[in-house]
Amino acid sequence: MSKKTKQIHLAAHFPGVNNTTVWSDPAAGSHIEFESFRHFARTAERGKFDFLFLAEGLRLREQRGQIYDLDVVGRPDTFSVLAALAAVTDHLGLTGTINSTFNEPYEVARQFATLDHLSGGRAAWNVVTSWDAFTGENFRRGGYLRQEDRYARAKAFLETATELWDTWAADDLVADKAAGTFVRRPDVGSYAHRDEHFDIAGQFNVPRSPQGRPVIFQAGDSDEGREFAAARADAIFSRHSTLEAGQAFYADVKRRLPAHGRTRDDLLILPAATFVLGDSDAEARDLAAEVRRQQVSGATAINFLEQLWNRDLSAYDPDGPLPDVDPLPGENTVAQGRASVRRHEDVLQTARDWRERAAAGGLSIRELIIEVTARQSFVGAPQTIAGQLNDFVQQDASDGFILVPHLTPTGLDSFVDQVVPLLQERGVFRTDYEGGTLRDNLGLRPQEPAADRQAAS
C-alpha cells in the first residue's frame, strides 16, 4: 500500500534568541517595537503558517560575568506580545515558551486560558524546564530546583494546570438573563491539588476556553524530555534539522507513543530550521556563506569556544589557531543562562575532534566555529528548498518545520512569496486555513476534560 502523502506544517520562530539572528545587518529592524512582531505575524499568516513561535529566556545571558550582547539582548514579555498579536491576526496559532520552573500553575493556567479566549482558540504553550540557580536568582526561590527534578516538576506543573483548565465545562457559563443565573453550578472552577511541588486549592476563575486548553509543545532533547513529550505533548520542538538526525529522532519519539496509549498522529515532530534563498542554488550558497560570516563574528567565535573550553580565551586571535590548552571539564562557569547544556558532551573528545578538523582544513578559530555551529538547514533556489522541505517530511525526518529567519522582521517575506506557492502547487501545504482553532489546523484530536473531572462537573 503506497504511503499517504503527508501535509507539511510550518511555523515562524520570531528571531532573536541566539546568533542565528543577524541584528547588525542594515536591513535588520527592532526586536522591541510592536510593528516588528506585527509584520512578522502577518507575513506568517499570509503564508498560511500554522503558528508563530516565541522563545523565552528569563535572565539575560552572560559570558565571563558580562552581559552577552553579541546576540539580541532583552525582549518584551511573551504573554503580552502574544495577546497583542491575537488582535492583529485571525488564524495564526500563537505559541509561547513559558518555563515550568520559575512560574506557578495558577498564573500560567489563567494566562493561557485568557490567550485562548482572546485569540478564539489559537494558544499554544512550549513547556521548558530550565532549573539553573543563575536564572533562579531573578525569582524568590533562586536555584532551588535540582537538574534531575526538572521534569518531575514540569509533569506536576502541567497536570495541575490541566486540572485547572478542566474545572470549567464548556456549558458552565449560561448567562441566563431570564432566570438571572450566570453559571450552571455554584462550585464551578473548584479544585484542590496537592503533590510534592504544589499545594493549592480554590476556584479557577477563567471559563473554559475555545480549545479547552492550549496546544502543548515540549522542547527537550534528553530521554526524559522525549518521554515527557510522548506522554503529554501535542508537538515536540527539536533541534535535529539534518535528514539522518531528524529521521532518528522522529523514529525514536514516535516509537514511544503507543506505551502512552497514543497514536503516531497524536504528536507532531517539528525541528527548528533556517533557510537562505537565492535566484539560483549557487547564488544562495554565496549568500549563505555571507550570512554565516555575519552570524559568527570573531568575538562570537571566541565566545563559542569559551563555552566548550570553559576558560577565558579573550587573548586568542579568532583568525588564528585553536588554543593549545585543553578545555576544563565540569559545570560551565563561563557562559550563564543558555538553554543548551553541556552534560551530553565529552568536552575533551569534542576538542580533539575540532583540532583534527581545523588541522585537516587549515581552519582558523572563526572558520572552524562557522563550520561546527552551522545551522543552515535549507539553502538554494525556491524550487530546491521546496523540494528539500517536502523530502524531509515525506521521508519522516519531521512533520514540518519551525523556521527561524536570520533577519527581523522581514526575513520570512521571501519564503512566503517564493516557497509557499511551490509547496501549495505540490499539494503538500494548505492553500487556506481549514480549521477554526490551532488544534484543528494541526490536525490534532479535540481535547475533552479528563473523564473523572467530567463526571464530577
CA distance linking residue 320 with residue 316, whole number of Å: 7
| 151 is annotated as contributing to ligand binding | yes
With CB under 6 A as the contact rule, which of the stretches 110-118, 234-242, 320-328, 430-438 interacts with ligand FMN? Answer: 234-242
Q: Are 210 and 437 in contact (CB under 8 A)?
A: yes
With CB under 6 A as the contact rule, which of the stretches 49-57, 158-166, 179-187, 444-452 interacts with ligand FMN? Answer: 49-57
CB of 112 to ligand FMN, least distance (A): 16
Task: Check binding of 224 to ligand FMN (CB under 6 A).
Answer: yes
| 2 is annotated as contributing to ligand binding | no
Q: Which of 379, 399, 389, 395 is nearest to 422 (CA)?
A: 389
Binding residue for ligand FMN, selected from 239, 255, 260, 293, defined by CB under 6 A: 239
Q: Which amino acid is at 174?
A: V
CB of 287 to ligand FMN, least distance (A): 24
CB of 330 to ligand FMN, least distance (A): 18
Report the residue number, 37 or 316, with the smaller CB distance to ligand FMN: 37
CA distance linking residue 161 with residue 200, whole number of Å: 11
CA distance linking residue 380 with residue 319, whole number of Å: 28
Binding residue for ligand FMN, selected from 25, 56, 149, 195, defined by CB under 6 A: 56
CB of 455 to ligand FMN, least distance (A): 35
Angle at the Cα of 142 (from 228 to 227), degrees rounded to 5? 5
Task: Give the SS3 label for residue 176.
Answer: strand
Report the residue number, 63 or 364, with the smaller CB distance to ligand FMN: 63
Element (H, E) at 94: strand 93-99
| 144 is annotated as contributing to ligand binding | no
Report the residue number, 147 or 263, with the smaller CB distance to ligand FMN: 147
Task: Check binding of 220 to ligand FMN (CB under 6 A).
Answer: yes
| Residues in region 7-26 near ligand FMN by CB under 6 A | none
Give the C-alpha distances (Å, rounded to integers) separating 406 from 17, 56, 351: 11, 17, 28
Which residues share a beta bridge with 183? Answer: 173
Report the residue number, 125 or 191, with the smaller CB distance to ligand FMN: 125
Task: Check binding of 225 to ligand FMN (CB under 6 A).
Answer: yes
With CB under 6 A as the contact rule, which of the stretches 39-47, 231-239, 371-379, 435-443 interacts with ligand FMN? Answer: 231-239
Q: Which amino acid is at 21?
A: T
CA distance linking residue 263 with residue 417, whole number of Å: 35
Task: Check binding of 93 to ligand FMN (CB under 6 A).
Answer: no
CA distance linking residue 88 with residue 90, whole number of Å: 7
Which residues share a beta bridge with 326? Answer: none
List of residues 6+ apart from 432 with CB closer than 8 A: 48
Binding residue for ligand FMN, selected from 272, 302, 385, 407, defined by CB under 6 A: 272
Binding residue for ligand FMN, selected from 339, 403, 404, 412, defined by CB under 6 A: 339
Task: Check binding of 130 to ligand FMN (CB under 6 A).
Answer: yes
Task: Check binding of 253 to ligand FMN (CB under 6 A).
Answer: no
Element (H, E) at 56: none
CB atoms within 10 A of CB 344: 8
Pairing relationship of beta strands 51-54 and 93-99 according to DSSP bridges: parallel
Binding residue for ligand FMN, selected from 222, 373, 388, 414, defined by CB under 6 A: 222
Binding residue for ligand FMN, selected from 8, 10, 12, 128, defined by CB under 6 A: 128
Which residue in this structure is represented by grid cell 533562586? 142
Please report how the helices 347-361 and 365-372 are oriented relative to each other, as an axis angle in degrees rounded to 10.
110
Binding residues: 97, 151, 222
Site residues (vs ligand FMN, CB under 6 A): 55-57, 97, 99, 128-130, 219-222, 224-225, 237-239, 272, 339
